[in-house]
Structure 1
Amino acid sequence: MSRPHPRLREASDAGPAPSAPPLLLRPWAYEDAAALVHHHRDPQLRAWLATHLDTERQARAWVAAQSEGRAAGTRVAFAVVEETTAGLTAPLGHVALTGEGDAAARIGYWTAPEARGRGIASRALNLVARWAADGESPFTGRALELVHTVGNEGSCRTALACGFPLAETLPAAPPARPRAQHLHRGTDPRSPRAVQRAARAA
């Protein structure tokens, strides 16, 4: 039987400022379909993502695929929200771990336009990387990698700030890899204090 989908909570003092609401990483739900379509209309996001969700039907199918990956033990995807005094916000981003067998687990992420520049991606990436290293994760003991298209400077800065140095540049190999990509390999998950510094820098 597969484990229940984890919900990852950020420590209340891990944000870039004392007033910043902590992050909660929760499963994607069918109710998020409208938010997903809204975010996927962003030209900057569409420039880097291989999958575009143009309708709520497509978004619900995508949510179902995330659940299937979790059940198979090959993918764990999270909606990134903030825990405010008024309750949970709508999704501000996405972060996911994928991998099969003993191969390295790959982390992917994106941030909604209205949430950029606030360290959301850095904090979510660090939170997932620390969880991947603990005994509750199906990815425990596996190396962590992340890949982004060359030219995506925001993702590159976030990776470097969070302890994922650039390992190599993968040449374009259509159709599976239409553009060259940067491959980053993870080091040790950052401490809470280092997370704060990375969030301010990204």
Structure 2
Amino acid sequence: MSSPQPSLRETPGNGAVPSTPSLLLRPWTYEDAEPLVRHHRDPQLRAWLATHLDTTRQARAWVDAQNAGWAAGTRAAFAIVEDTGAVGTAPLGTAPLGHIAVTGEGAVSVRVGYWTAPRARGRGIASRALTRVARWVADEDSPFAGRTPELVHAVGNEGSCRTALACGFPLTATLPAAPPARPRAQHLHTAAVPRTPPPVQRAARAA
């Protein structure tokens, strides 16, 4: 994608308690390398992730991969942070609470994936971030407009399953394990949201 990746601010009525900071979903930067390594030491997180970041060098390479995905038009990855400022943009250096990404190379659907740091769990952070990203994907100005959001998680990851269901992603299938890329069976959740016509169709209708 030729334009810079946007940051997404939490919209009113997104499930946040009025007294808590709103969420900002921003691009990952090299400044996040140390927090990434720290979060990846969490045993619960490592149990479900296929990629483990053990050094800052690995974390920076991972950030480069996220930026490359945006440039190629196949991926939008966001650091989930709390916007603690009353006005203006939250600093890029604000420590991330988690990660959420949209991935898709086809024209029909995109996959959403996420994780949260231990201190963010039980606070509704994942569901709020997922709700915001799903709205962005459905927006007609989104680069992924017109594609149905899907979410996949390993069978047994009850936290992710509850979050998906609560955010309007009903369970639609169970995918069998396919080692080594998919060592466990997975649940497939498909968003129950109306699809927005993709840019090509919109342009044709406007012509």
Q: Shared topology, TM-score over 0.5? A: yes
* Structure 1 runs not aligned, ≥5 long: 190-202
- Pick from 106, 117, 122: which aligns with 2:127? 122
TM-score normalized with structure 2 length: 0.87
Q: Is the 8 A contact 1:12 1:21 kept in 2?
A: no
Distance in 1 (alpha carbons) for counterparts of 2:187 and 2:82: 29
TM-score normalized with structure 1 length: 0.89
Q: Residue 85 and residue 2 in structure 1: after superposition, are their counterparts in 2 closer, same or farther (change >3 A)?
A: closer
**Secondary structure of the equivalent of 2:151?**
strand
Partner of 1:78: 78
Percent identity over the alignment is 74
Distance in 1 (alpha carbons) for counterparts of 2:153 and 2:164: 10
Deviations 1:38-74 (A, max 9, x none): 0000000000000000000000000000000000000
**CA RMSD for the aligned pairs?**
1.5
Between the two proteins, the alignment pairs up a number of residues equal to 189
Partner of 1:186: 191
Partner of 2:69: 69
Q: Is the 8 A contact 1:104 1:144 kept in 2?
A: yes
How far the C-alpha of 1:20 sits from its partner, in A, is 1.0
Distance in 1 (alpha carbons) for counterparts of 2:119 and 2:106: 37
Partner of 1:55: 55
* Structure 2 runs not aligned, ≥5 long: 195-207
How far the C-alpha of 1:101 sits from its partner, in A, is 2.7
**Secondary structure of the equivalent of 1:106?**
strand
Q: Residue 84 and residue 15 in structure 1: after superposition, are their counterparts in 2 closer, same or farther (change >3 A)?
A: farther
Q: Is the 8 A contact 1:25 1:80 kept in 2?
A: yes
Deviations 1:153-202 (A, max 9, x none): 0000000000000001111111221110000000128xxxxxxxxxxxxx
Partner of 1:100: 105
Distance in 2 (alpha carbons) for counterparts of 1:13 and 1:137: 21
Q: Residue 13 and residue 144 in structure 1: after superposition, are their counterparts in 2 closer, same or farther (change >3 A)?
A: closer
Distance in 1 (alpha carbons) for counterparts of 2:85 and 2:27: 21
Q: Is the 8 A contact 2:30 2:60 kept in 1?
A: yes
Distance in 1 (alpha carbons) for counterparts of 2:141 and 2:7: 12
Q: Residue 113 and residue 153 in structure 1: after superposition, are their counterparts in 2 closer, same or farther (change >3 A)?
A: same
How far the C-alpha of 1:25 sits from its partner, in A, is 0.3
- Pick from 175, 178, 201: which aligns with 2:180? 175
Q: Is the 8 A contact 1:150 1:179 kept in 2?
A: yes
Deviations 1:68-126 (A, max 9, x none): 00000000000000011485541001000000031410000000001100000000000
Structure number with larger C-alpha Rg: 2
Q: Is the 8 A contact 1:15 1:22 kept in 2?
A: no
Distance in 2 (alpha carbons) for counterparts of 1:45 and 1:153: 13
How far the C-alpha of 1:35 sits from its partner, in A, is 0.4
Mean Cα deviation higher: 13-22 or 129-138: 13-22
Distance in 2 (alpha carbons) for counterparts of 1:39 and 1:147: 21
Q: Is the 8 A contact 2:11 2:132 kept in 1?
A: no
**Secondary structure of the equivalent of 1:163?**
coil
